[in-house]
Amino acid sequence: MPVSITMPALSPTMEEGTLAKWLVKEGDVVSAGDLIAEIETDKATMEVESVDEGTIGKILIGEGTEGVKVNEVLAWILEEGEDAGAIEAAPTSPPKPVVEKPVVNGDPGILPMAEPPKTKPVAQMAPAQQPASNGRLFASPLARRIAGQKGIDLAGVQGSGPGGRIVKSDVENLGAIPSGSSIAQQAKMPPMPPSTSGIAEGSYDIIKLDNMRKTIARRLTESKSMVPHFYLTIDCEIDALLKLRRDLNAKSPEGEDAYKISVNDFIIRASALALRKVPDANASWMEDVIWRHHHADISVAVAIEGGLITPIIREAETKGLATIANEMKDLAERAHSRKLMPEEYQGGTFSVSNLGMFGIREFSAVINPPHGAILAVGAGEQRPVVKDGSLQIATIMTVTLSCDHRVVDGALGAQLLAAFKGYIEDPVTMLL
């Protein structure tokens, strides 16, 4: 029986990917461990290796194909003694699909999954008798809130919960309903045709969305729709920090131990120490419970072509500035080439977004669920300040904390910002 090569699950949440490039062609002989393809997810490009040996008998999915589902058959490997006729007799969906092991820069990545990930239930048009005899609809409060925001009539949704109860996933997955149904028309608004948009046809370019941009759009829309944001802003004087940075960088040794500390590295360190000092703010909203984390895993927004990604400095409160600087440099370089492994950008407990290098004075960032907060950092600039009754000039950096009010309320957010400001304005304390 031919061996199937299927779309691997390169992360726990991956449902589909893009087959970017084949590294083999039909007729090639492969062995276990040979690189056979490059797969693009929403955040990274990974090389995939074969887990069996034989001859590439038939390639089913061409290069550049998007939206390939996890465990969909990509190609067939013929074992010794088999010919192309064996492929015709092979099942379209193999009972035990082979999950390939991703390799990044020659190193093994995610271990093969024991079984394919479970797919989410697909919302369907409900039978007419779905509502209870008294006219009530059985739906969770969260499902009702999502439906209200999307303008969806729950009377037309089939629930997948206990006793037919409509739950969150039933409403979120309405995009899977056939486009001709009335529910699909409510859940997804078609683009405005050029004739009615007031924009002349042919006067614009249509940019095709890649997986990264689709994911960013979906997650940020969900965040602003579902997470109750509120914002706290504070000014930090950073002249002492800039001096300490110059002094430390001047002491950088040669060779492997060399480092170059940035202002952003101080911000990561100060954020982590502030979270250790105010542990209740190092938390995530998980619907029915709150997770309070033992370590400060700081996700740092990095702009790359086509969007952004948030590589993570794990347990940042335990790491010195030089270590953070070198880790961040490595993560940022591999982020730009889309060579990060999923565990290097998925998770985290707190986010930092710094636009100071672009000259932005102040802004508010969108929370990255399930994080309880994100810190938006503006540029350091010289401003007039009053000290001891006299007017002086100081370098001021404005930061804004976006908080999920379900996790971090006003007083708690203020405590976190005060702790952060203390470390930034007295940076020697970050060395202790």
In Å, how far from its chain's centre is CA 209? 16
- Rounded-to-integer distance, Cα 91 and Cα 243, Å: 68
Tokens, residue 78: 């013929």
Q: The tokens 């990561």 sit on which residue?
A: 268
DSSP per-residue string spanning 95-107: SSPPPPEEEETTE
Nearest to 306 by CA among 391, 183, 216, 206: 216
The number of helix segments (H) and strand segments (E) in the chain equals 10, 20
Q: The tokens 């940035």 sit on which residue?
A: 262
From 293, 295, 336, 405, the catalytic residue: 405
Cα→Cα distances 291→127, 279, 316, 392, 431, Å: 39, 11, 18, 44, 29
In Å, how far from its chain's centre is CA 405? 21
**Are 337 and 331 spatial neighbours (Cβ–Cβ below 8 Å)?**
no
Handedness of CA 12, 16, 21, 23 (dihedral sign): positive
- Rounded-to-integer distance, Cα 3 and Cα 87, Å: 9
- Rounded-to-integer distance, Cα 355 and Cα 378, Å: 6
Which amino acid, residue 413?
G
Give exposure, 348-357, as e/b (b: 16+ Cβ within 10 Å). bbbbbbbbbe
DSSP state of 64: T
- Rounded-to-integer distance, Cα 177 and Cα 157, Å: 10
Nearest to 229 by CA among 351, 314, 393: 351
Instruction: State the Cα torsion 231-232-237-242 to the nearest 10°.
Output: -40
The answer to whether 229 is a known catalytic residue is: no
Q: The tokens 């100071």 sit on which residue?
A: 356
Which residues are marked as active site? 405
